[in-house]
Amino acid sequence: MLFEKIRSEILAHNSYVVGAEGEAVVIDPRRDCQIYAEIAESNDFKITTIFETHKNEDYVIGSRDLARITGAEILHGARENFRFGTSVHEGDTFRLGPLELEVIETPGHTVESISILLRDRSVSADPLMIFTGDALFAGDVGRTDLAGESKRREMSEMLYASLHEKILPLPDGVIVCPAHGAGSVCGGNISDREYTTIGFEKAANPILSMSKEEFVEYKMNEKIYEPPYFEMMRRLNREGPPLLYSLPHLSAYSARELRSLLDGKAQIIDIRSPTSFAGGHIPGTLNIWRDGLPIYMGYYLNYDDPIVLVDDFNLDLDRVVRYCVRLGYDNIAGYLADGFAAWFKQGEEIERTGTWSPSDLAEHLDDPSVYILDVRKIGQREEKGYIQGSHHIYVGHLEEHLSEIPEDKRIVVHCDVGYKGSIAASILQKHGFSNVINLLGGTIGWEAANYPMIKEEEELYAAPAA
Amino acid sequence: MLFEKIRSEILAHNSYVVGAEGEAVVIDPRRDCQIYAEIAESNDFKITTIFETHKNEDYVIGSRDLARITGAEILHGARENFRFGTSVHEGDTFRLGPLELEVIETPGHTVESISILLRDRSVSADPLMIFTGDALFAGDVGRTDLAGESKRREMSEMLYASLHEKILPLPDGVIVCPAHGAGSVCGGNISDREYTTIGFEKAANPILSMSKEEFVEYKMNEKIYEPPYFEMMRRLNREGPPLLYSLPHLSAYSARELRSLLDGKAQIIDIRSPTSFAGGHIPGTLNIWRDGLPIYMGYYLNYDDPIVLVDDFNLDLDRVVRYCVRLGYDNIAGYLADGFAAWFKQGEEIERTGTWSPSDLAEHLDDPSVYILDVRKIGQREEKGYIQGSHHIYVGHLEEHLSEIPEDKRIVVHCDVGYKGSIAASILQKHGFSNVINLLGGTIGWEAANYPMIKEEEELYAAPAA
Amino acid sequence: MLFEKIRSEILAHNSYVVGAEGEAVVIDPRRDCQIYAEIAESNDFKITTIFETHKNEDYVIGSRDLARITGAEILHGARENFRFGTSVHEGDTFRLGPLELEVIETPGHTVESISILLRDRSVSADPLMIFTGDALFAGDVGRTDLAGESKRREMSEMLYASLHEKILPLPDGVIVCPAHGAGSVCGGNISDREYTTIGFEKAANPILSMSKEEFVEYKMNEKIYEPPYFEMMRRLNREGPPLLYSLPHLSAYSARELRSLLDGKAQIIDIRSPTSFAGGHIPGTLNIWRDGLPIYMGYYLNYDDPIVLVDDFNLDLDRVVRYCVRLGYDNIAGYLADGFAAWFKQGEEIERTGTWSPSDLAEHLDDPSVYILDVRKIGQREEKGYIQGSHHIYVGHLEEHLSEIPEDKRIVVHCDVGYKGSIAASILQKHGFSNVINLLGGTIGWEAANYPMIKEEEELYAAPAA
Amino acid sequence: MLFEKIRSEILAHNSYVVGAEGEAVVIDPRRDCQIYAEIAESNDFKITTIFETHKNEDYVIGSRDLARITGAEILHGARENFRFGTSVHEGDTFRLGPLELEVIETPGHTVESISILLRDRSVSADPLMIFTGDALFAGDVGRTDLAGESKRREMSEMLYASLHEKILPLPDGVIVCPAHGAGSVCGGNISDREYTTIGFEKAANPILSMSKEEFVEYKMNEKIYEPPYFEMMRRLNREGPPLLYSLPHLSAYSARELRSLLDGKAQIIDIRSPTSFAGGHIPGTLNIWRDGLPIYMGYYLNYDDPIVLVDDFNLDLDRVVRYCVRLGYDNIAGYLADGFAAWFKQGEEIERTGTWSPSDLAEHLDDPSVYILDVRKIGQREEKGYIQGSHHIYVGHLEEHLSEIPEDKRIVVHCDVGYKGSIAASILQKHGFSNVINLLGGTIGWEAANYPMIKEEEELYAAPAA
């Protein structure tokens, strides 16, 4: 039996290859799908079938590319109007030698969501594994808000039924293989267990012990942001995404070329660390540190204008390209040759961002010239508390709320660590705020340095989608 | 939570890396242990602890090398007189952030065998995983014969107790991580499930539903061979194996140099396929196909004289070197440059082996000049049946039983496929048998071609260690 | 200054990347062109220009694919009717920072052949390097026969002029970078010097010291074979080859699927060694050892029917795929999963080829039942001599000359080593010759074993294209 | 003929593998020498001989490690008292099939320096290549100052003789393969030609057209710094360096562990970019950007106390480890897990450095509170000019000249780009200077922004070793 779990970093997306007797299936392949073909080839397996557990909204599915190179058939749930692939229904079974894969309809996250139950018929009628897609995660369950507020209650009830009538009645020993791990935007509290079981989730996942009413109430009140690129993902994954063929090539741009792009529509992204951005950057550029791209680029970047990267040393850009294409950003175009130093070697102007440590901020807590801006998720603010006097706008919504921020003050932005604070700082500077400071360490550093967090029940800002 | 399973091919040895909050443990590291250090480094984890579930007998443990490069502490069971590392006892616990590792003594395979129980104390008191070493496998349990016939009953009873009093009472949802997968010489019938659980094993592993008496009887009658190199492994793994530092470099030998080695003590191993060996080989050399080395080299090779490989195209020899050092064969020295063609380009004599298809053999079943030699495991012969008129000597014991084979007949050797048959053929030719034929396809091909297998209860040859 | 030479194995094709100040040119890119993009990216260079020194006939040029991924401009000589790219002319210069590239028209191999002269204007007006395409090699010069017999004299005169009026007058210190190295089918006697200079070639290349008359006479009498696929290459490279995007994926075929292909049009190629093919093979299949593919597949394979590979262990098939696409064989489709053993595990019939050592043949030199067939190049036979009584048909032309071979004799085929002999043996067996033997070691082994070669001036077989 | 040039980045050290007929030599191997063994193995060559062209002073030679893994013999010049290897003398020749290697004594850089002349005896008596070590580079010649001022004239005269009597009389077409490329500390003006020839050097290398008197005068006045680690390299390379076996493993240090090291003797090196260091760093740490390590670490780091790295994202640290061991820094111990963010996540204090653009500095040129410190090489200052009012201390000598710098001013440090300026800034901050600013862009950015450089003949600071 071939079993491989393929993790896509940061997106925390899990896909799986399962095979026996020369044939293999892939569940929820990512778009840079060469890895599945390589696993199959190095094991002398042929990929014959691709399952999509649901219409993913956080990344571009790789089914069509993988089908192109392997000839495999694409299967997904029947209750969505897919423009490609074939529908499967409750109880459909597929064989791989002694292995049997059974389709279980588990709606709730989406209406057409399915889970795949795996049995080894040569040894037992008991199932061995279940691939739960976005229905059940380690420590969490799927989002029910993405179909819109009007359908949220209905989706939540469906998910409760799927969990309690389809999944949880399975034997405790069944291994649960979800489509996402910790850190995913598809769940607010997914645990970092790499593997789990029905039995362990029943013991350790608090959401599963709620009554139906508690569950629906909990899901109705859950606040998770929805990045704007989800809309594009849903459309692509329903209609069939464009074929990728191979990873885009990054062109090296000289500093001169980059400067000429500054007035155009190019999307110049500084992928350096918050300190590197603070020490000097190209005026007007957006800072999203490299591993923040899969989570945050979908808030700020469009799918048309070329994306150009600015790094310190241009290391491991191949990974950044993968991040982009997984989210459909095939407009990733190039990078600044020789890094940011190429910019200042030309004698160009640079912009700086202030950096403060917790103790620096502590000295200014009562300074009226200082405006403290918390850009964390509203849920974090509510759960963990906040720094005295701080205001809240979620980093993903900052550009729509700039008018709420005073122009004549020193703006101290902070998140929980300092990375998202730097995104926010770069947005503020881009929009003309001249005195912007990023709190290095964020609220975690603040608490580590023994400064107090205020935990009231107040809510300063309500995320529209929360 | 960091969780990685590292599989060593063919040996079917599993080792594991588990970590949290910057610290990691490695369980049963293999000797070419750079991979663990790389996993730790690429995840920003520090390896602090190495567990040995037991004194392994089928490979050289990598604990000392891994401790050398990481500074980690080596831990193993208390009931063996190890010359290195530290003893742990029932109930000892170790923390990795929220993770807790608890030692459970599970003797039976060896007296000092331990299992490691993993809990995530941040979410549940229920255990999540258990690392069972050679106590419990997917579909099988550990060998109890290696301590010798005199202790076999005692070891079997201990194993029964370990399984039924320590491991099986755990919740069904606990994931079982054994030290071996399918194909290992450490179990006769290990299944190829990559992951399993207590619950699934209780449902699917027939050995676990035996009564104590049935279990002990079953283990007393189990016939598994013990390759002679096990003795060396046990000694090394008790005393502490020599440090490896890095993989040995293979020297390129010219055909001229190789010929000069033929009269000396060098161990020249032809790692080509059975057909390639049959089509022409260096007279007097042993044929073990490349992926057969981890299983069969331990029967034939000593640890002193240089080992030199003969291949067709010298592809992927790095893998062969790993096979060697995992079994302690640091005397792997080199290979024939430019492959077997270098030999015949010199105009040297070659030796050939006959090859027969099933239909070729079928025509000679009653031919008195033909002597059919079955070199499979005796258990296979008993379970699957045999070809009419065939005699049996296990391939690993062939050299000690040559006198049983008639010198004046055509010897048709066969195994189940054809690889081990070629080992046997090469041994026969080396010892002067001039008319040797390998049945391509073996008994599997024989049956596939619809020729009959005889399934009596008779036993033609009893393996001494079986 | 960036300078990288990229060698494509076996084809012995050289391509080059040259760059300065962030911009690079590629000269004669191969079709799997990702390597150039990677070199550029890892050095922060942008590929802006692609030079084709001539319309290559032995491989598919990668210009269009490389232009697709980099946006570079394609340049080639003006005297061919290319359907893509831009023409350059004598004296055209291109700058890369201080580097200057000057086009020199050097017809002879083809009419539109150009060489590229490289100067570093920051230090000297003297040229540093010249990229000579197929005009001048280390130890040899380009072929002049490919435009057809009728133009051969004219092409030879042109080449003489290009060499003696354009290239050799350059300073002795100029480094010569040709498009091919030793082993290429584009020259009969290319030396294996990795780098050479004008001065060294003048001293060491005997063809360069010929008078014009001697030179033309020499080129008129030169006998080099022209594989049939050259015609396809010329067409593709003139019209613009199809885009490759990425390497084809190889599908794993089961033995059952392979058998079902045997009666169809699939081209099943056994890429194993001569001994492995001899020890057993699928009846009717062609044997071209893996590294013989770039030289010999162009004689036997068509561009339409799927190509399926049979190997022993399916190692490094990625390399074989590259061989295929470089010659335009995008119809490479798959391989037999689990190797040839999968065939015989099914109990299928196998076919064998005899193998003889030189001493085996020596015993049969006067045996009238033996027919010795020499399949070397006719030039080798003339230069090195032949085995007494042997007949000659070049391996590439064997299928057209089968009627010359007696059907009732034992056919002993030989080449110089034994690989091409196995190609020939497989062709004979495919066409019904039942008693075929390959001489392992060929003429080199024959001489190494101290058997005589006959060196008369007779010519047994004249290659049509020679 | 096997010919491979192996470039070690930044050190700009070239080593070479040359082979024929199964045997190969390596010239000047680097310490992480696995690459030579791999080249040999993948080409079926055996490395039999290692040449050291001279006792290197800028890196640890890999001869002993390479000899350990290959069994090769180590050869070097006779006029040094090496504690390992074998002496060779003028005219000694070595054969590799048709290739002949001839030793030519070419003293001057060191007394025992040798060059290796390569002929292909099968085609010509003319030499094809010469390996010149540190005698002749592309565009430059070897240093003659390292034996000390007292011997400098004598060494210069020797080098002149070696060049004009031994090397330059060779035919123009001979390819020159030196031990260093552009950027090496072993020559002040080595060109970036990847390959060159005797003829091209005679045309383009101005030093070669000097008379003996001019040459000696030029070499007597040449100002090149000598990093203090050279002394260690000379000792190791004379006595035989310690065996490396494999690259050191880097341990992940938590922020907590790192803080505990701050008071000890650990050498904490911040390898981030100048802007990242400026935006925030651990107080008291030294900043050498990652690719500056091979050039500058030898000025500041000792060989005893553990070296711990601080990076942003811990990318490609393997390369940094190679840099360290090539210079003998086997005390490279670890890195800060999760990068600099781990530091500020703990709420720790951070230190910042100012950054100025050229226009920022231009506004303060006459500001008496500003002290401009030029840390470039004195030769650059003399040749390129300087910024008005600036003072000069070479970055490598800064720690010995701190008393020359006013403590009460804003110190604006600059180099030519900004990297070495950041080294200097970090040294100043470490020693208590509180107001330190690094000029981003350095003099190159300054001039690019059209600000003036003053080019007088004055010399503000004379480098002791210059």
The DSSP annotation for D92-148 comes to -EEEETTEEEEEEE--SSSTT-EEEEEEETTT-SSEEEEEEETSEETTEE----TT-
Judging contacts by C-beta atoms under 8 Å, the chain B residues touching residue A126 are: 199-200, 203-204
Domain ranges of chain D: 2-239, 251-345, 354-460
Mutate which of B41, B311, B320 to disrupt the D interface (most D C-beta within 10 Å)?
B41
- B247 close to D (CB below 8 A): no
Q: Is C435 exposed, middle or buried (0-12, 13-18, 19+ CB in 10 A)?
A: middle
Q: What is the pLDDT of residues A188-241, one digit of tens each?
A: 789 999 999 999 999 999 999 999 999 999 999 998 999 999 999 999 999 999
Residue A206 contacts by C-beta under 8 Å, 6 or more apart in sequence? Answer: none
CB contact under 8 A, C448 and B315: no
Residue A86 contacts by C-beta under 8 Å, 6 or more apart in sequence? Answer: A73, A74, A75, A76
Judging contacts by C-beta atoms under 8 Å, the chain B residues touching residue A193 are: 1, 120, 128
- B44 close to D (CB below 8 A): yes
Q: What is the pLDDT of residues B327-370, one digit of tens each?
A: 999 999 999 999 999 999 999 999 999 999 999 999 999 999 99
Question: Does A354-460 match A2-239 at the fold level?
Answer: no
What distance in Å separates the CA atoms of residue C307 and residue C336, rounded to the nearest whole number?
A: 11
Judging contacts by C-beta atoms under 8 Å, the chain C residues touching residue D193 are: 1, 120, 128
pLDDT band at B463 (very low <50, low <70, confident <90, very high): very low
- A41 close to C (CB below 8 A): yes
- The label of the residue with tokens 């409760």 reads A160
Beta-strand pair A410-414/A332-336: unpaired
Mutate which of C9, C120, C190 to disrupt the D interface (most D C-beta within 10 Å)?
C120
What distance in Å separates the CA atoms of residue D57 and residue D63, rounded to the nearest whole number?
A: 14
Bridge partner list, D46: D23
Q: What is the pLDDT of residues A256-284, one digit of tens each?
A: 999 999 989 999 999 999 999 999 999 99
- Angle CA D286–D287–D292, to nearest 5: 125
- Element at D253 (helix H, strand E): strand D251-253
- In this structure, what token pair is assigned to residue D307? 């070296």
- D85 close to A (CB below 8 A): no
Distance from CA of C31 to the nearest CA of D (A): 24
pLDDT band at B462 (very low <50, low <70, confident <90, very high): very low
User: Nearest Cβ partner of B337 from D44, D71, D254?
Assistant: D44
**Residue type at C213 in one-letter notation:** E
B256: closest CA among B337, B333, B332? B337
Judging contacts by C-beta atoms under 8 Å, the chain D residues touching residue A341 are: 273-274, 417-419
Q: What is the pLDDT of residues B46-93, one digit of tens each?
A: 999 999 999 999 999 999 999 999 999 999 999 999 999 999 999 999
Mean pLDDT of chain C: 96
Mean pLDDT of chain A: 96
Residue D215 contacts by C-beta under 8 Å, 6 or more apart in sequence? Answer: D156, D160, D207
- Element at D211 (helix H, strand E): none
User: Nearest Cβ partner of A197 from B2, B175, B192?
Assistant: B175
pLDDT at C391 over 70: yes
Residue A118 contacts by C-beta under 8 Å, 6 or more apart in sequence? Answer: A18, A99, A100, A101, A102, A127, A128, A129, A130, A131
pLDDT at A242 over 70: yes
Q: Is the distance from CB of D77 to CB of D54 less than 8 angstroms? A: yes
Distance from CA of C350 to the nearest CA of D (A): 33
What distance in Å separates the CA atoms of residue A236 and residue A57, rounded to the nearest whole number?
A: 9
- Angle CA C14–C247–C283, to nearest 5: 95
Judging contacts by C-beta atoms under 8 Å, the chain C residues touching residue A245 are: 245-246
The DSSP annotation for C349-377 comes to --B--EEE-HHHHHTTTT-TTEEEEE-S-
CB contact under 8 A, A173 and B201: yes
Q: What pLDDT score does A457 carry?
A: 57
The neighbours of chain D, by the rule of 3 or more Cβ pairs under 8 Å, are A, B, C
Residue of D nearest to B35 (CA): D249
Q: Is the distance from CB of B136 to CB of B147 less than 8 angstroms? A: no
CATH number of the domain at A354-460, please?
Answer: 3.40.250.10
Q: Is D206 exposed, middle or buried (0-12, 13-18, 19+ CB in 10 A)?
A: exposed
The DSSP annotation for C421-437 comes to HHHHHHHHHHTT---EE
* Residue D452 phi, psi (nearest 5): -80, 145
H helix and E strand count, chain A: 15, 24
Mapped onto helix, strand or coil, the DSSP state of residue B125 is coil
CB contact under 8 A, D22 and B314: no
Q: Is the distance from CB of A29 to CB of A61 less than 8 angstroms? A: yes
Q: What is the pLDDT of residues B234-289, one digit of tens each?
A: 999 999 999 999 999 999 999 999 999 998 999 999 999 999 999 999 999 999 99
- B202 close to A (CB below 8 A): yes
What distance in Å separates the CA atoms of residue B274 and residue C154, rounded to the nearest whole number?
A: 55
- A200 close to B (CB below 8 A): yes
Q: Is the distance from CB of C427 to CB of C401 less than 8 angstroms? A: no
> What's the Cα-to-Cα distance from B102 to each of B62, B94, B128, rounded to whole Å?
22, 7, 12
Mapped onto helix, strand or coil, the DSSP state of residue D451 is coil
- A70 close to C (CB below 8 A): yes
Give, in words, the CATH class of C251-345: alpha beta
Q: Maximum distance among all alpha carbons in chain C?
A: 73
CB contact under 8 A, C347 and B355: no
- In this structure, what token pair is assigned to residue A241? 């995404």
Q: What pLDDT score does A187 carry?
A: 83
- Element at D422 (helix H, strand E): helix D419-430
**Residue type at C117 in one-letter notation:** L
How many Cβ atoms sit within 10 Å of the Cβ of residue D303? 13
CB contact under 8 A, D312 and A272: yes
Q: What pLDDT score does A464 carry?
A: 42
Judging contacts by C-beta atoms under 8 Å, the chain C residues touching residue A48 are: none
Q: pTM (2 decimals)?
A: 0.95
Mapped onto helix, strand or coil, the DSSP state of residue D240 is coil
The DSSP annotation for C94-122 comes to EEETTEEEEEEE--SSSTT-EEEEEEETT
Q: What is the pLDDT of residues C321-357, one digit of tens each?
A: 999 999 999 999 999 999 999 999 999 999 999 999 9
Q: What is the pLDDT of residues C241-295, one digit of tens each?
A: 999 999 999 999 999 999 999 989 999 999 999 999 999 999 999 999 999 999 9
Q: What pLDDT score does B460 carry?
A: 44
Judging contacts by C-beta atoms under 8 Å, the chain A residues touching residue B128 are: 193, 196, 200
User: Between the CA atoms of D356, D360, D363 and D369, what dihedral angle is there, to the nearest 10 degrees?
Assistant: -20
Sheet with B251-253: strands ordered across: B251-253, B332-336, B307-310, B267-270, B286-287
Q: What pLDDT score does C460 carry?
A: 44
> What's the Cα-to-Cα distance from C326 to each of A40, C73, C236, C241, C314, rounded to whole Å?
24, 21, 12, 11, 20
- C363 close to B (CB below 8 A): no
pLDDT band at B188 (very low <50, low <70, confident <90, very high): confident
Terminal Cα-to-Cα distance of chain C (whole angstroms): 43
Helix axes D34-42, D63-70, angle to 10 degrees: 40
pLDDT at B409 over 80: yes
CB contact under 8 A, A441 and D347: yes
Helices (H), D174-316: 198-204, 212-221, 229-239, 255-261, 274-279, 293-300
DSSP-derived secondary structure letter, A206: G
Q: What pLDDT score does D381 carry?
A: 96
pLDDT at A450 over 50: yes
Q: What pLDDT score does D457 carry?
A: 57
Q: What pLDDT score does B309 carry?
A: 98
- Element at C402 (helix H, strand E): none
Residue of D nearest to B251 (CA): D46
How many Cβ atoms sit within 10 Å of the Cβ of residue B430? 16
CB contact under 8 A, B254 and D338: no
Give residues 268 to 297 of B whose Cβ lies within 8 Å of C. Answer: 272-281, 290-291
Q: Is the distance from CB of A168 to CB of A208 less than 8 angstroms? A: yes
What distance in Å separates the CA atoms of residue B155 and residue D211, rounded to the nearest whole number?
A: 89
Mapped onto helix, strand or coil, the DSSP state of residue D32 is coil
- C-alpha B462: how far from chain center: 21
Q: What pLDDT score does C457 carry?
A: 57
* Residue B20 phi, psi (nearest 5): -160, 145
**Residue type at A141 in one-letter notation:** V
- What is the mean pLDDT of each successive set of 10 residues along chain D, which is 466 residues long? 95 96 97 96 96 97 97 97 97 97 98 98 97 98 96 98 98 98 89 95 97 98 94 97 94 96 94 98 98 97 98 97 98 98 97 98 97 97 96 98 97 98 98 97 98 75 40
pLDDT at B144 over 90: yes
- Element at A208 (helix H, strand E): none
Q: Is A363 exposed, middle or buried (0-12, 13-18, 19+ CB in 10 A)?
A: exposed
User: What is the average pLDDT across A369-388?
Assistant: 97
Mean pLDDT of chain D: 96
Q: What pLDDT score does C187 carry?
A: 82
pLDDT at A48 over 80: yes
More confident residue, B305 or A263: B305
pLDDT band at B457 (very low <50, low <70, confident <90, very high): low
- b/e sequence C402-417, b meaning 16+ C-beta within 10 Å: eeebeeebbbbbbbbb
> What's the Cα-to-Cα distance from B62 to each of B5, B114, B317, C212, rounded to whole Å?
15, 18, 21, 70
pLDDT band at B160 (very low <50, low <70, confident <90, very high): very high
CATH 3.20.20.10 fits B2-239, yes or no: no
Bridge partner list, B163: none
- Element at B47 (helix H, strand E): strand B46-52
- Angle CA B336–B311–C309, to nearest 5: 145
pLDDT at B466 over 60: no
Beta-strand pair C251-253/D23-27: unpaired
